[in-house]
Amino acid sequence: MGEFVRLEVADGVGTIRLDRPKMNALDVQMQEEIRAAAAEATDRDDVKAVVVYGGERVFAAGADVKEMNAMSYTDMVKRSGGLQSAFTAVARIPKPVVAAVTGYALGGGCELALCADLRFAADNAVLGQPEILLGIIPGAGGTQRLTRLVGPSTAKDLIFTGRFVQADEALAIGLVDKIFPAESVYEEALAWCRQFAGAATYAVRAAKESIDRGLEVDLDTGLEIERQQFAALFATEDRAIGMGSFVESGPGKAQFTGR
């Protein structure tokens, strides 16, 4: 458990909780603690899905600008890879991940939310990539993940201008997936994740990897990724349970083991 980031587990759901007052500024220590929490969530069999949450007031207002301001070019050459890979560790969790976004999710905070499979936003959420206003660009995946999510024109508008996006606009452009009252967004994220407590673990993993890896390649290669993942699931216990249950009792009644 880190000083500012911890993994809390209950009822099959792991919460990666950001807790660095006042605004969850994402300094190097937090980045590495996020990496560690993602690795723990990946490794633990009792974690079937993950919520990334910054608390009731703020998701994460961005990188620690004071820390970055003291860095030279050579400092950032050495650090930028670690910054990206810490966030990618969240994106590569082989389980469903939802970001529960309250308050500000700006810069690195928005980039962290982009690493989730879904984004549930509070009605008071404010998102954006304002790095251009600091004379830089997003460096933790924003130019890539945002573009893949909302399209190049919208991503360019947000990144070129650095403007903030309120929750309703974020929903309209596809930056977030659902909006809830601020006091219930975390519980809604937990509820979404709990549905995977009894899911076929390796099938969910295969679906996520097929979609994510397929987005990185051409269609024919993506289809080959899907084919391999599909065939591999015939080696799992859950595939036998699921099909056997369907034949005997109809759909939706299988009791999976996660193996």
Catalytic amino acids? 63, 108, 111, 131
Contacts made by residues 44-48, CB under 8 angstroms, sequence distance 24+: 44/7, 44/9, 44/14, 45/258, 46/9, 46/12, 47/7, 47/9, 47/12, 47/13, 47/14, 47/95, 48/12, 48/13, 48/95, 48/96, 48/193, 48/196, 48/197, 48/199, 48/201, 48/258
> Number of H helices and number of E strands within the chain?
11, 9
Question: Chain centroid to CA 180: how far?
Answer: 18
- Report d(CA 109, CA 131) in Å as an integer: 12
The residue type at 122: A
